[in-house]
Each structure stands twice: as structure tokens, then as C-alpha cells.
Chain A
Amino acid sequence: MDKKFIPKITVFHCINAFSEASWSSVGRDDFEIKFIKLPCSSMVKDVFLLRAFEAGADGVVVLVCPEGQCRYVEGNIRAKKRVAWVQNLLDDIGIGGRRLSLSNMAARDTAAATQIIDDALKNLAELGPNPAA
């Protein structure tokens, strides 16, 4: 019998959009999650996203501030463009751009963060494990 798929998610987040301290996955053992905090989402370079997949992530989520509310004016827009570029690259690689997503979220909106992670998990249930992990 096949081993049950436990998805691994890496979350890159702006410290102004999300705090790991507010996150709780207590009682959930159906996925593994790793948080990487950044002073601004624009600090997420293309290669960081790719290396997360190299390190075994099945999916990568980038959490950014709502548009128009970036402390550094356009950081979240830069992150959005970069994520779109890497999604295309992941399609070219053949592991699928849908494994990477970006979401805007208001500061400390834990319910929104939970929903975003749940959506990513649903997506991964469909896509299966990272074929390059």
C-alpha cells in the first residue's frame, strides 16, 4: 500500500503581513509547514522559491500585505511579479507553477492565513508530491 502523502509547505511571509506566533496547527498532522520570515515580501528572490522546491517542498506560499499597504510602497507588487515569473519557470521545469502561490493578507488575520494554507493543501492533494523532491 502506498505511503500516505504528507504535503510539505514552505511559507515565505512579510513580517508585516503575518506572524508565525499567531499560527497554530495543533492537532493537525496531515501536513508539514516551514515559515521563512522576511522584512518585506520583495526580499523573496526567485532562487529562494526554487531552492524551497529543491529542499523538498511540495508547495510554496508567499504571504504579502494588501496592495497599496506595503510599508516599502511597492514591495508586494514586486513579489507578485516575481512569483508570476517563477510560476512560469516551474511550468517550464515540469513541476507545475500551481505549486507556488501568492496571497495578500491583512496584518494578523489568522483566519485568512489558515484559509490560504487550507487552499494550498487542497491544491497539493490534487497535484501530489513534488516530482523533483
Chain B
Amino acid sequence: MIVAEQKPLSEIKEIIAPYKKILILGCGTCVKTCFAGGEDEVAVLASALRLACKKDGKEIEIEELTIERQCEDEFIRESAPAISRNQGVLSLACGAGVQALARRFAKTPVLPGVNTTFIGVLERQGIFTEECSGCGNCRLDIFGGICPVTRCAKKLLNGPCGGSQNGKCEINPETDCAWQLIIDRLKALGQMDNLRRYIPPKNWRTSLSGGPRKLVREDHII
């Protein structure tokens, strides 16, 4: 999932300051799971902003709505009546959701309420970790399902750096050494021979370094 974190209240207050009627629009998919922008977070933020504005003597009308996904037109459409009633939209979706809304509603300012941080997993309740960099050329088959591009601080593809201690990364002792995990996993799978393969320098053109990417599926285009 895409992991995001709600912006500090002070920053959000500054962002919405020019508007008197605002829609806080949540997204019921990734940002809901990471407690940044689902229905509950929309309700809490709306209440917090109402209290903050009242305390500061500022008038504001806040409408709340959460749609299933802000990155797809089919779901965005449901928010059109609410958006038309407001001067601006504070989106609690990831950056893709904010931009998808902005593309569809040309005359309404769409403002970000969260910082989109990474593609990750729920490690355990309340802890999210980055596990994919979206590099565009996945080789998790070789690495036992553990990504050294994302989880090794040095992005090493041909074995560990030698600096890890007790299975922890020398850059951050709270982070597991990805190569320790890869070796443990390959041992368990009986696939240690994978490590004899030389991985040539990675071609980063498939990653964001090659510029914004686009996926075209001709078979779905009518």
C-alpha cells in the first residue's frame, strides 16, 4: 500500500487559511489503512480544525466526505456535488489522489493534507515499513522475496557490505540488514546458489530516475 502521514495541524491551518468553505475529502484505500486519510481521520481533522478556527475567531464551514479511491475517476465522480459546494478541497489522499482530483476539477483548488511517504507494508499494528521503491524492474525472484534496492541502505545487489552487526544495518542499528534477511531466507528455501549469480549494475531508466513513467495497456484501451 501507499503509506502517508497527516501533515501537522499548523501546516494544514496555513494551507486552508484563504478559504471559508472547505471539503475534507478522505480516501478509503491505502491512506485509510495507515490511519492518515480514511473516514475516521477526516472526522478528527474536521473537528480539530473547527475547534482551532473557533478558538482563533475565524469563520469556516467544513464538509466531510470519504470516497473509496481518489485515484480513479469512477470514484472521484461521487465527490463532484460536494466539491461544487465548497471553495477548496483538502485531500487526505496520496499525491496521486490529489493530482487526479486536480485534473478533474479544473476550477477548484485541491490542497494536500498528508505527506505521501512510501510504498510499504503493515509490519504490525501501528508500524509501517518501506518495502518497495517501484524501481520498475523487480528481481525479488533472485533475492528470496526481500528487496535489497529498498531495504539495503547501500542498495547492494551482489552481497552484503560486511558492516552489519548482529543482523542489523550499520547505517541504522534499528533496521534489519536486508542481506542478512536475504541469506537467511535463501538458506531456508535451499536457494543459496542464487548468490553465485552476478547481478550487473542496475539500469535505473525504469525507475523514476528515467522521468515520470506511464503504463499503457493497449488491450484495455477502446
Q: Please tell me if B185 contacts chain A, counting CB pairs below 8 Å.
A: no
Interface centre among B40, B54, B56 (most CB of A within 10 A): B54
Q: Are A132 and B54 in contact (CB-based, < 8 A)?
A: yes
Complex interface residues of chain A between 64 and 108 (CB less than 8 A to chain B): 89, 92-95
**Which of B14-22, B43-51, B109-117 lies at the interface?**
B43-51
Q: Please tell me if A4 contacts chain B, counting CB pairs below 8 Å.
A: no
- B51 CB to nearest chain A CB (Å): 4
- B142 CB to nearest chain A CB (Å): 41
Q: Are A47 and B43 in contact (CB-based, < 8 A)?
A: yes
Q: Which residue of chain A lies nearest to B39 when distances are taken between CB atoms in the complex?
A: A47
Q: Please tell me if A128 contacts chain B, counting CB pairs below 8 Å.
A: no
Q: Please tell me if A45 contacts chain B, counting CB pairs below 8 Å.
A: yes
Q: Which residue of chain A lies nearest to B53 when distances are taken between CB atoms in the complex?
A: A132
Residues of chain B within 8 A of A53, CB atoms compared: 51
Q: Are B47 and A54 in contact (CB-based, < 8 A)?
A: yes
In Å, the complex CA distance between A132 and B49 comes to 11
Binding site for A on B (CB under 8 A): 8-10, 40, 43-44, 47-48, 50-52, 54-56
Residues of chain A within 8 A of B8, CB atoms compared: 92
In Å, the complex CA distance between A45 and B44 comes to 9
Q: Are A45 and B40 in contact (CB-based, < 8 A)?
A: yes
Binding site for B on A (CB under 8 A): 45-47, 50-51, 53-54, 89, 92-95, 131-133
Known: A54-B50, A89-B9. A94 touches B55 (CB 8 A): yes
Please pick, from B10, B40, B43, B55, the residue contacting A132 in the complex, using a CB distance under 8 A: B55
Please pick, from B9, B47, B55, B56, the residue contacting A47 in the complex, using a CB distance under 8 A: B47
Interface centre among B8, B10, B47, B55 (most CB of A within 10 A): B47
Q: Which residue of chain A lies nearest to B47 when distances are taken between CB atoms in the complex?
A: A50
Residues of chain A within 8 A of B56, CB atoms compared: 94
Please pick, from A47, A54, A92, A95, the residue contacting B40 in the complex, using a CB distance under 8 A: A47
Residues of chain A within 8 A of B48, CB atoms compared: 50, 89, 92-93
- B92 CB to nearest chain A CB (Å): 14
Residues of chain B within 8 A of A89, CB atoms compared: 9, 44, 48
Please pick, from B10, B44, B55, the residue contacting A50 in the complex, using a CB distance under 8 A: B44
- The 10 lowest CB-CB distance pairs between A and B, nearest first, are A50-B47, A132-B55, A132-B51, A132-B54, A47-B43, A92-B9, A93-B52, A131-B55, A46-B44, A47-B44
